[in-house]
Chains A and B, each alone.
Chain A
Amino acid sequence: MAALRNKSDQEIKDLLNEYGIKHGPLVDTTRPLYEKKLKEAMAKAKVPVTKPSPDRTFYREDQEEVTYVTYQTPVRSEGPSGDGKPYMRSRPEYSERDRVDDKPYSRSRPEYSERDRVDDKPYSRSRPEYSERDRVDDKPYSRSRPEYSERDRVDDKLYSRSRPEYSSGRPYVDEPHVYNTLSSSSYSKPTPVVKSGGGVVKKENTTSSGRLIPLWIQFLVFLILAGFLYFIFTNMESAESSPFNRIQ
């Protein structure tokens, strides 16, 4: 298909339609332009999207990649060049996505700033990602920055058992735990109980790195925690009330 020049007008028109290139009538002055466009389209078509995703296991992402490449339009492009260079763009994405899925809990920030993972990570996304894009779908809780900054720390300490916060009498001692267990449900449980500074409850959510904690376990842990805190709260109240009675 090299000799575009020799083709008839009708054939050129058919080819243009085939590649979905918008065009007007084929005239003397427009023909070179359309030939050039056809050439580009044919060259692009020759490079199929064979991105052998090196060591990824997220098939959903692969599909996503493929679909928008075939469109040849920057559907979700953050790439600097706006014209049809989907292939170039897909490559850096893969290298970034790689890291994304391997470490669900140690999300380094720059990666997320490039891509936001919608599907399989319901919790913990690093900050810049949200500041750049708002993902409505899978985050039922708000995306304000301070929350993320808290969460950020939370998630960092999630698996590193160092909790200096607990030793200090901060009122939010228990909140990280709450956040931890709640990581996929709503935040808005400030647990006023916490103020009493009761339990240094260490729910060891020891999960293997790279594995997500099943949701039901987290809920269970949260319920246990909440019950425990309530128990403490109740006890404390009774303790306070008794001296009052004695005085009278």
Chain B
Amino acid sequence: MSSTSQKHKEFVAEPMGEKLVNALAGIGEVLGKRLEEKGFDKAYVVLGQFLVLKKDEELFRDWLKDTCGANVKQQGDCYGCLREWCDSFL
């Protein structure tokens, strides 16, 4: 039942390159700003964090919640987006 959003589809379709953190599924303007303030200004930095957390869902969700206050759905979207991207390109 987890239908992926347009954002998700666009993100996982190609290498992320220099995309901003807003391009991640689940990360909108508000969350994007918070992440940028913490130093995660590009999508690949968040990817880096995702990888450092060993791609573990729970850890990543917790981290996302702590860092930018994402709710459960947003956490899930972002995690799914990154995981699928990694499956394709990593």
Contact = CB atoms under 8 A, between A and B. Distances in A.
Main secondary structure of the interface of B (DSSP, over half): helix
Contacts, number: 29
A76 B52 CA distance: 32
Interface in A8-29: 22-25, 27, 29
Interface of A: 22-25, 27, 29-30, 32-33, 36-37
Contacts of B53: 24, 30, 33
Contacts of A25: 52
Contacts of A33: 53, 59, 62-63, 66
Contact of B52 (A29, A32, A36, A37): A29
A32 B66 contact: yes
Given A22-B59, A24-B54, 19 more contacts: A22-B54, A22-B56, A22-B58, A23-B54, A24-B52, A24-B53, A24-B56, A24-B59, A29-B49, A29-B52, A30-B49, A30-B53, A30-B63, A32-B66, A33-B53, A33-B59, A33-B66, A36-B66, A37-B62
Interface residues of B, number: 10
